[in-house]
Amino acid sequence: MRRITVQDRLVWVTGASLGIGRAVVVELVRRGARVIASARNELALNELARECGGDRVVVLPLDVTNRQATLQAAHTIRQQFGYLDIAFLNAGICEYVDVATFDSSIFERTMQTNFLSVVYGVEAMLPLLRAGRHPQLVGMSSTVAYRGLPRAEAYGASKAAIKHLLESLDLDLLKDGISVSVVCPGFVKTPLTDRNDFPMPFRIEAHEAARRIVDGIEARNPEIHFPKRFSLLLKLLSLLPHCLYIRACARMVHSS
């Protein structure tokens, strides 16, 4: 597939106030894109817009867990621009499960924020993408989606659901000329991972993750996964027979 730069393209980014989303906005602007930045924290979005300078960032506050608010955001974009070239559905949370005190509310929060927000975003943005130039739909999954990992029952399920959704959309949107990419990062240094209480091998900085994501978007890669030393290892492990996979994971957890 032909590489298409993000220069002068209109990109909508959710979860843009911090972490990977914020770094992606900065990287997009550095490469000449125009960005609509969404998150709940309007103050942080305004600070991001000032940091990027000029008029390259439009602030659009949004709670992505609210379907009506997401549809209204799309209406606002349609009124102001009339189209969208790229939608990067990035917003998300991470909560780990303690099976000793299994709590279903963790699953409700995680699926609502991580998965259903992507569903709402797709519903809202597809009509705008159909009016865009070389339209692209990009969603944030994770390497945890490859196979089950300890304590990741809720987070992993939400990310696996996103991966399955986007891979299915990639097939169904072929006729519309909309390319679909799923982003599967390993550990990236963000406020979310700063709370983790376990080793995070090959963790990279958010600005490096942003560079790799935008590179993947410009290359129109169906899957953008990194850092390769980690993501390829997990891909390899996921191919193991169940008993060997469980044994390998148990050994890694014990050594950690």
CA–CA separation, 150 and 99 (whole Å): 10
Separation CA 201–CA 236 (nearest Å)? 16
Structure-derived torsion over alpha carbons of residues 173, 174, 178, 182, reported in degrees to the nearest 10: 80
C-alpha torsion 115→195→249→148, nearest 10: -10
Report the distance separating Cα 152 and Cα 196, nearest Å.
Answer: 12
Angle, CA of 195, 198 and 201, to the nearest 5°: 105
C-beta of residue 149 within 8 angstroms of C-beta of residue 142: no
Question: How far, in Å, CA of 142 to CA of 37, rounded?
Answer: 21
Q: Which listed residue (83, 120, 146, 155) is catalytic?
A: 155
Contact (CB, 8 A) for 150 and 135: no
Q: Is 96 a catalytic residue?
A: no
Asked if 34 contacts 61 with a C-beta cutoff of 8 angstroms, the reply is no
Active-site residue list = 155
